[in-house]
Structure 1
Amino acid sequence: MSGRMEGMRVLVVGGGAGIGRGAALAYLDEGATVTVVERSPRHAETLAEETRGRSLHVVAGDATAVPVLYEALAQAVGPDGRLDHLTCCVGVFDHYVSLRELSVEELTDAAEEMWRVNVLGTLVAIRTAWPALHEGGGSVTLTLSESAFHPVGGGVLYGSSKWALRGVVQHLAADLAPSVRVNGVAPGGTTGTGFSGLASLGGATSSVGAVEGRDERIAAGTLLGVTPTPADHAGAYVYLADPQAARVVTGLVVNSDGGRALR
């Protein structure tokens, strides 16, 4: 690695597994001091153990809870009150549930939970970190999905939350300018990831990497014929967080989907 983020202080919410973990480890490899918030005690413990002795600190807790965010910020922010970058990867999944399959009551509960976690949770994290980001002239990267562009990769609840975040990128790029850049990464299907389900619909967590034939279907749906890993998306996150390479980049979403949109 190049050390292009040497001396930077970075907070990753939802960084204990999957794509968030890949981004957090890439920041660490590039020289950043990284704080990760992770809800799963098992994932938090594993990440902490694997990075022991390095400049990565794990806060175990729900990143949509304001006290947890403040705890993480206290660790992440430097003595000068500066935070250089925030990456938001918190999200829940709808397991492709159809509108037709839900009662009105189930729909209401599921939608409120989905949008509260995926959209409001992201906005709250950014607002909580705003003073430190402003102080540091920092940046924010949101995690979207191919479902923010096409009706794939989830159902209407998940997809609509990611479409909302696509709008958040552009609106906050304008709102937080000129001191803070705001961008996003929209990964396509990725192997070795898992999704927390909606508690209102039973709360199941899928280990999608174990679904038979999934990796082959992902590869077949891309122009490049590849099945991405979390590490394959990390370069996009590092680029957008780099204050030199991406100095004039804001309001952009990088589609790291292997050319799914053109297939």
Structure 2
Amino acid sequence: MEKIGKRFQEKVAIVTASTQGIGFGIAERLGLEGAAVVISSRRQTNVDEAVKKLKNQGIEVMGLVCHVSNAQQRKDLIKNTIQKYGKLDVVVCNAAANPSVDGIVETKEAVLDKLWEINVKASILLLQEAAPHLNKGSSIVFVSSIVGFHPLKGLAMYGVTKTALLGLTKALATEMAPDTRVNCIAPGFVPTYFASILTTDEQVRRSLEEKTLLNRVGTTQDMAAAAAYLASDDASYVTGETLIVAGGMPSRL
């Protein structure tokens, strides 16, 4: 990684779903820039492994099990962060699920509920817990997706929940101003465990690369750099915005 600054010295950041993929990349970047990071995911073994990796890089980190749709675990995530660090400056809402590739009119109600609950509602409920503890000058970053602008076949309902995050970003930016900024990144396609087809199917990967202007899929570091910018004081005059990080894939004018 190129030499990076220390924009998060003495800051405390929570990143949800952050033991692998984009979430881990964001937590790592914030930590390398000086933040104390609180990482979480559903499985203790994943949390332990990720904590070890971050500690080996000299990052101050605490890891907790948090399934974002579990009310008690959300409460504990905030409570333990405040108990240990006494403050909260950055919250990155990264947790997402895509349990089905059915078309919208074929999607079962239980799947609709899960998509809404994990991709949208859980972030709102987590922020309700976090809001009383957010410092003046704090920052929230949502992780949406390029498919929030153009929901793809097989990702249609997932895409619609990611569209909802674009509206949530605007609405919360209005409500939480001027003390807390709220922004969003919309990643393009990034080979991660979550998007495993990109790591296993060469043809799919190539067709997606051709849809970009830069002839490549994204990296977790690309997404982490964008999220870190929005969370940092470099973006102190930016709120309510979505930064598309998709190699020039079609999004909006």
TM-score between both structures, scaled by the size of structure 2: 0.90
Give the structure 2 partner of residue 126 of structure 1: 127
Helix, strand or coil: the match of 2:119?
helix
Which residues of structure 1 form unaligned runs of 5+? 196-205
The CA RMSD over aligned residues, in Å, is: 2.1
2:220 is aligned with 1:230 = yes
Q: How does 1:48-127 map to 2 (within 5 A)?
A: 48-52=51-55, 54-77=59-82, 81-100=86-105, 102=106, 107-127=108-128
Is the CA contact (8 Å cut-off) linking 1:194 and 1:208 kept in structure 2?
no
Is the CA contact (8 Å cut-off) linking 2:137 and 2:180 kept in structure 1?
yes
Deviation string 1:125-156 (CA, Å, 9 cap, x unpaired) is 111110111x3431100000011101238522
Deviation at 1:94, TM superposition (A): 4.1
Give the structure 1 partner of residue 147 of structure 2: 147
- 2:50 equivalent among 47, 50, 53: 47
* Cα distance in 2 between the residues matched to 1:153 and 1:76: 39
2:231 is aligned with 1:249 = no
- 2:7 equivalent among 4, 27, 30: 4
Is the CA contact (8 Å cut-off) linking 2:68 and 2:118 kept in structure 1?
no
Residues 1:41 and 1:225: Cα distance change in structure 2 (over 3 Å): same
Is the CA contact (8 Å cut-off) linking 2:19 and 2:47 kept in structure 1?
yes
- 1:214 equivalent among 196, 200, 204: 204
* Cα distance in 1 between the residues matched to 2:84 and 2:212: 45
Is the CA contact (8 Å cut-off) linking 2:9 and 2:35 kept in structure 1?
yes
2:30 is aligned with 1:27 = yes
* Cα distance in 2 between the residues matched to 1:236 and 1:219: 20
Helix, strand or coil: the match of 1:142?
strand
* Cα distance in 2 between the residues matched to 1:115 and 1:138: 26
The one-letter amino acid of 1:110's match is: V
* Cα distance in 2 between the residues matched to 1:252 and 1:26: 21
| Percent of paired sites with the same residue | 26
Is the CA contact (8 Å cut-off) linking 2:145 and 2:188 kept in structure 1?
yes
Give the structure 2 partner of residue 192 of structure 1: 192
Is the CA contact (8 Å cut-off) linking 2:100 and 2:111 kept in structure 1?
no
* Cα distance in 1 between the residues matched to 2:45 and 2:85: 33
Residues 1:80 and 1:58: Cα distance change in structure 2 (over 3 Å): closer
Residues 1:218 and 1:77: Cα distance change in structure 2 (over 3 Å): farther
The one-letter amino acid of 2:48's match is: E
* Cα distance in 1 between the residues matched to 2:119 and 2:102: 16
Give the structure 1 partner of residue 19 of structure 2: 16
Helix, strand or coil: the match of 2:178?
coil
Give the structure 2 partner of residue 201 of structure 1: none
Deviation string 1:78-100 (CA, Å, 9 cap, x unpaired) is 77842100000011014432135
Is the CA contact (8 Å cut-off) linking 1:90 and 1:117 kept in structure 2?
yes
